[in-house]
Structures are given as C-alpha cells and as structure tokens.
C-alpha cells in the first residue's frame, strides 16, 4: 500500500512539472503571436501619402520584412556549410509554435541555420528519414520493410523544395542535436553510410560534424524514473508518467483518425 501511494505521489509531481512546462511553452507561443499581430496592426496604421497617383505606401518594420522573407522555405547553396539544429522528443521546429523558438532564436541569427520540424513523438528511424528529405527534397520514404514491421504508411509528407538540395559529399552539413535529436542525427549518419536512400549515392562524408547538446548518446536513466521496467527495458509500470504519455499519444492518434 505504501509503495502504491508513493507511486501516485511520484506520478503527481512528475505530471505536474511536465504540465506546467507545457503550459509555459504554449502560453509563450500565444503571447509571441499576439505581440507580432499587434505590432503588424500598428504598422498598417502608419501609412503616408506617396507620389501623386501612387496610392498609399505601407510602412513596415524591419521585423515584419524579415518575417515575410522567412515565410517561404529558404533554399541554401553550398557555401558555407549550413548548421542543422535537431530538436528532441516533444520538440518542434521553426514555425510550429508561431514565433516561439526551440533553440532560443538561433535560427534567426543566420539564414544558414536550419531548424526542421520533425515528429515530436515518432521513432528515431522515422525522424531520421524525415530529416533527410527535409534537406534534400522529395517525398519522405520510411522504407518498405520498416513500414510493414511497424504497421504504418511507407510514405509521408512531400518537400517540393528541399532546404539544402545541393547536399552531398562536396556540400556537407553540420548537425547539432539536443537530447534525442542527437540520436536522430547519428541514425541518419549511419543511413547515409549504408546508402539507405534509393536513388541517392550517399556516404558518411555528407556530414561534416555532429555536436551533442545534452544528448542521450548511450541511453538515459530518465526512462526508468518515468516508469520503464529495469528488468527488460520494454515494459512499463502500471502507474507512471510513461503510461500518461501513452494515453496522450493514443488520444492524439484517435482525434487525427476521427478528424
């Protein structure tokens, strides 16, 4: 009984912390969007007469112009090599939450810093495949065998224009991964070495460097704190944070299916 009560207390504390963090991220994103909308509305009011017959000229701020330029995908050439920032679990890429940045605005410092929006809760394999096509362009191919084993569609979204279509041995990239994002970059690096993308002559030399930011390079004890069983590393405790996450994922899938 005491162990059951302790488990409930641990679950309550952990769930509360995660919910508060999620609320902080959501509220920050909403506040940033409201602020940008208010600033844009103010700029629309600042109009001055132009030359006769030319109508009105909209006086936009430098921030607005920059935002408008960033609305379309930025297609980079080969020099210098871009830096690709890869988010972790529950993470998000540029534009997913409005003006909120997962990497503290690093992508706003330079056009050659890319922040792809990968699956927040999808597998490392799937995210690695998405990352490849985000850079190179084309329809995401998760692989025939992998898709059959995991029971999901083989093909995903289509990138009409890759963000770095010239990517190859002569035009490599720098990967910087945070948390599980490092595993995504490492798996992609291995896929490149294994030539796992049909139609592309890839190699390990497509990656110039790989940097880890608090990466789970050899696993993490956090999974056991959140409810994973130590005995087999697969099953979960009946009452734990991972069970709540499991319910959340199933709910998201259900709403998506019904929608």
Same domain, 103 and 215: yes
Domain presence at residue 249: no
78-110 confidence digits (pLDDT tens): 679 999 999 998 888 888 777 778 898 899 889
233-250 confidence digits (pLDDT tens): 778 888 888 887 777 666
Number of structural domains in the chain? 2
Compute the distance between CA of residue 69 and CA of residue 243 in angstroms, rounded to an integer: 42
Domain presence at residue 252: no
| Percent of the chain whose predicted confidence (pLDDT) is above 70 | 78
Same domain, 66 and 81: no
Same domain, 151 and 49: no
Same domain, 11 and 80: no
Q: Would you state the structure tokens that stand for residue 229, as one six-digit string? A: 């069983």
Give me the domain span that covers residue 4: 1-71
Q: Would you state the structure tokens that stand for residue 143, as one six-digit string? A: 């692989």
Contact residues for 43 (Cβ-Cβ < 8 A; gap 6+):
58, 59, 60, 61, 64
Same domain, 98 and 168: yes
Residue where a domain terminates, one of 52, 71, 90: 71
Domain presence at residue 254: no
Same domain, 168 and 60: no
Domain presence at residue 251: no
Closest residue by Cα to residue 83 from 193, 243, 213: 213
Same domain, 192 and 135: yes
Q: For residues 149-176, give the mean pLDDT.
A: 94
Domain presence at residue 29: yes
Same domain, 84 and 58: no
Domain presence at residue 225: no
DSSP 155: E
139, 133 contact by CB (below 8 A): yes
Give residue 228's Cα distance to chain centre.
Answer: 25
Residue where a domain terminates, one of 71, 93, 124: 71
Same domain, 26 and 128: no
Number of CB atoms found within 10 A of residue 173's CB: 20
CATH number of the domain encompassing residue 130: 3.40.50.1820
Q: Exposed, middle or buried, 230 (CB in 10 Å: 0-12/13-18/19+)? A: exposed
Q: For residues 126-142, give the mean pLDDT.
A: 97
Residue where a domain terminates, one of 25, 50, 71: 71
Same domain, 138 and 188: yes
Same domain, 195 and 116: yes
Domain presence at residue 197: yes
178-235 confidence digits (pLDDT tens): 999 999 999 999 999 999 999 999 999 999 999 999 998 887 787 887 888 888 877 8
Same domain, 188 and 108: yes
Pairing of strands 56-58, 47-49: antiparallel
Compute the distance between CA of residue 84 and CA of residue 95 in angstroms, rounded to an integer: 15
Domain presence at residue 233: no
């Amino acid at each position: 009984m005491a162990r059951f009560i302790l488990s409930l207390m641990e679950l309550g504390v952990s769930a509360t912390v995660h919910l508060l963090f999620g609320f902080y991220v959501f509220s920050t994103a909403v506040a940033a969007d409201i602020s940008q909308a208010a600033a844009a509305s103010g700029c629309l009011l600042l109009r001055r007469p132009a030359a006769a017959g030319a109508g009105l000229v909209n006086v936009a701020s430098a921030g607005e112009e920059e935002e408008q330029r960033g609305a379309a995908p930025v297609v980079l050439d080969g020099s210098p090599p871009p830096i690709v920032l890869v988010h972790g679990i529950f993470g998000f890429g540029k534009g997913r939450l409005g003006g909120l940045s997962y990497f503290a605005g690093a992508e706003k410092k330079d056009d050659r810093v890319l922040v792809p929006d990968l699956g927040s809760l999808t597998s490392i394999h799937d995210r690695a495949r998405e990352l490849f096509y985000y850079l190179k362009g084309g329809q995401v191919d998760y692989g025939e065998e992998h898709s059959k084993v995991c029971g999901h569609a083989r093909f995903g979204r289509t990138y009409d224009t890759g963000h770095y279509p010239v990517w190859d041995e002569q035009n490599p990239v720098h990967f910087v991964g945070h948390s599980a994002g490092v595993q995504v970059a490492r798996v992609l690096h291995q896929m490149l070495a294994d030539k796992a993308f049909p139609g592309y002559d890839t190699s390990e030399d497509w990656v110039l460097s790989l940097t880890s930011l608090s990466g789970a390079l050899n696993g993490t004890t956090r999974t056991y704190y959140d409810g994973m069983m130590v005995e087999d590393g697969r099953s979960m405790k009946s009452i734990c944070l991972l069970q709540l996450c499991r319910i959340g994922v199933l709910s998201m899938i259900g709403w998506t299916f019904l929608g």
